Amino acid sequence: MAMRRAKISVIGAGNIGGECARSIAMKELGDVVLVDIPNKDKPDLHMPRGKALDLACCGPVESFDARITGTFDYADIKDSDVVIVTAGVPRKPGQSRDDLVSINAGIVKNVAQNIKQHAPNAIVIVVSNPLDAMVYVMWKVTGFPAQRVIGQAGALDVARYKTFLAMELGCSVEDIQGLLLGGHGDDMVPLPRLTSVNGIPIQDLLPAEKIGACVDRAKAGGGEVVKLMGTSAWYAPSAGTIEMVEAIVRDKKRVIPCAAWCENEFGVKAANNGKGLFVGVPCVLGAGGVERVIGFNMTADEKKFMDESISHVKDLIGATVKMFPELA
């Protein structure tokens, strides 16, 4: 078979979807298909086609070769290697991610049915919120192996954490290593123990309260942006998503925290009535999707935070299943 570029479909051509398409093209990770729905009030418009055309015309300036197309027709995602799902409503000021569940669960369910039908071999990266529950919906509806259904959360949360630490330290963001676990929300699990500046423990460089403040700001980082802009962030969420896409299409085996299916890992089954769950954990990402979840021993405090986070994700899935009993 002739070699071909990766095909990456982006469902939801809004703020995050558009920025994802742009980054994919700039990094030449593959060809992009932007999918959205018609505007009922303005039937003459074709937003995804317009956005694709605008993006395609960056090519000569930015020197990229990537075909970018926009469509209302899911048949066009056929043979996608990766599908990114950003369909759904974003947050408004005062809303939590969880407040979006009643609208977004229905949207993601519909998107999942279409992916199952038209791109049954794709690796799916879910970005729509509330993240951990939307990944569950995607997995349940597509019936794809859990390895091919991944949630973007940790890549973004860690990026925020590192950004705030770098601001505090006055050093380059590139030299900060860090990790967060747990759900994509205010109960994500901080891990200062595993945070360093090129291996130098963060505890040696900043007092505990400063580290704690960076953790807290990372937890609420999405909300801080919503409050300033009136809608949710899109540049950093896209950057996190594209880091994952690159790891997959270039088979890099990057270790990135993602929402992945866990059973015995991190005590998920024990904390969730013997059942598995999608939650944020460090994953090896490569051509197969989540090729491995990397476990490690947690301290008692970390375990307590993780159990709380798991319990929150469990409640969120419970609320989703209440609305859509067929997803149980």
Which residues of this protein are in contact with ligand APR, per CB under 6 A? 11-17, 35-37, 86-91, 100, 104, 107, 110-111, 127-129, 232, 234, 237
115/202 with CB nearer ligand APR: 115
How far apart CA 313 and CA 328 sit, in angstroms, is 14
Helix/strand/coil for 232: coil
Task: Read off the amino acid at residue 241.
Answer: T
195/232 with CB nearer ligand APR: 232
85/206 with CB nearer ligand APR: 85
Q: How far is the CB of 65 from ligand APR (least distance, A)?
A: 26
Q: How far is the CB of 18 from ligand APR (least distance, A)?
A: 8
Q: How far is the CB of 74 from ligand APR (least distance, A)?
A: 9
Secondary-structure percent of the chain, ordered helix, strand, coil, rounded to 5? 50, 20, 30
How far apart CA 125 and CA 134 sit, in angstroms, is 11
Q: How far is the CB of 212 from ligand APR (least distance, A)?
A: 26
Q: Which residue is nearest to ligand APR (CB)?
A: 14
Name the catalytic one among 46, 118, 184, 312.
Answer: 184
- Annotated active-site residue 312? The verdict is no
Q: How far is the CB of 192 from ligand APR (least distance, A)?
A: 26
Q: How far is the CB of 221 from ligand APR (least distance, A)?
A: 12
Nearest to 189 by CA among 315, 318, 313: 313
Q: How far is residue 233 from each of residues 24, 119, 151, 238, 276, measured CA to CA in Å? A: 18, 28, 17, 9, 30
225/271 with CB nearer ligand APR: 225
32/298 with CB nearer ligand APR: 32
In whole angstroms, what separates CA 68 from the centre of its chain? 22
Could you tell me which residues come within 8 angstroms of residue 67 by beta carbon, excluding any fewer than 6 positions away?
5, 31, 32, 56
88: burial class by Cβ within 10 Å (0-12, 13-18, 19+)?
buried
Nearest to 11 by CA among 101, 109, 100, 92: 109
Which conformational region is residue 143 in: left (phi greater than 0), alpha (psi within -120 to 50 degrees), or beta? Answer: left
Inter-residue contact 83 to 123 (CB < 8 Å) = yes
47/176 with CB nearer ligand APR: 47
Inter-residue contact 29 to 52 (CB < 8 Å) = no
Active site residues: 184
